[in-house]
């Protein structure tokens, strides 16, 4: 599937043109303007994970994408971002969704392999979405969180041709070899799939 972000060659052309057109002192400013293009999901805020917590790749060329893996973080939104920033944690996910308003943070580019599934094969073939909250505290699973997460999953499925069904939109507990229970029994899969299909 084609990516929705500008291709590297076009970005290269723009930077090249900027270099010839403006004094070099302004180059830093040009780069800052280009930065919002770093996210794959429109409206997501870029909160990069430590480079020590994921594997650079060029998916979907290197590995076709077959799954979206749904997680519950067992901590807050801010706590999750801080874990992903910590190079000692050796863990990351592509996205984190906030409970209060459904705000989406992107921490790893979709081209790259986040370390979220606890299974290398599944990591290579999936996008991981963390949700703020705890498996035994369903009040964290707000309407806004379900709606924005479902929009994100629907967009990922559209980008990579992933079927919008439970065989391909799976919980962490369904990853072979996983000893995790998330998203847990309070996660409303019926509702989530309905939202993904109607997004």
Identify residues 20-79 at the interface with Zn ion (CB under 5 A). 71
Strand order in the sheet with 169-171: 45-46, 104-106, 95-97, 126-131, 67-72, 169-171
Least separation in angstroms between CB 46 and Zn ion: 22
Phi first, then psi: give them for residue 161, nearest 5 degrees: 70, 30
Identify residues 138-197 at the interface with Zn ion (CB under 5 A). 172, 180, 182
Least separation in angstroms between CB 104 and Zn ion: 17
One-character DSSP codes across 53-78:
GEE---TTTSS---EEEEEE-SB-HH
Q: x-or-dash pattern for Zn ion, window 115-134, by CB under 5 A? A: --------------------
DSSP state of 107: -
Query: Which position among 110, 130, 132, 147 bears the catalytic label?
Result: 130
Considering the complex, state which of residue 21 and residue 174 has its C-beta at the smaller distance from Zn ion. 174
CB-based contact 116:69 (threshold 8 Å):
yes
Does residue 130 have an active-site annotation? yes
Which residues are the active-site residues? 130
Note the residues at the interface with Zn ion (CB under 5 A).
Answer: 71, 172, 180, 182
């Amino acid at each position: 599937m084609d990516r929705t972000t500008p291709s590297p060659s076009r970005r290269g052309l723009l930077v090249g043109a900027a270099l010839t057109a403006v004094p070099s002192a302004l180059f830093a400013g040009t780069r800052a303007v280009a930065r919002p293009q770093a996210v794959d999901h429109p409206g997501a805020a870029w909160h990069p994970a430590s480079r020590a917590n994921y594997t650079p790749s060029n998916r979907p060329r290197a590995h076709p994408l077959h799954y979206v893996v749904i997680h519950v973080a067992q901590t807050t939104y801010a706590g999750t971002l801080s874990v992903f920033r910590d190079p000692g944690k050796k863990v990351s996910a592509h996205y984190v969704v906030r409970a209060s308003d459904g705000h989406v943070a992107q921490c790893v580019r979709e081209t790259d392999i986040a370390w979220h599934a606890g299974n290398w094969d599944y990591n290579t073939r999936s996008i991981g979405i963390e949700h703020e909250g705890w498996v035994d505290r369903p009040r964290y699973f707000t309407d806004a969180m379900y709606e924005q997460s479902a929009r994100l999953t629907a967009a990922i499925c559209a980008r990579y041709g992933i079927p919008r069904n439970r065989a391909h939109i799976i919980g962490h507990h369904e990853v072979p070899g996983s000893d995790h229970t998330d998203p847990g029994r309070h996660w409303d899969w019926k509702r989530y799939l309905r939202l993904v299909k109607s997004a």
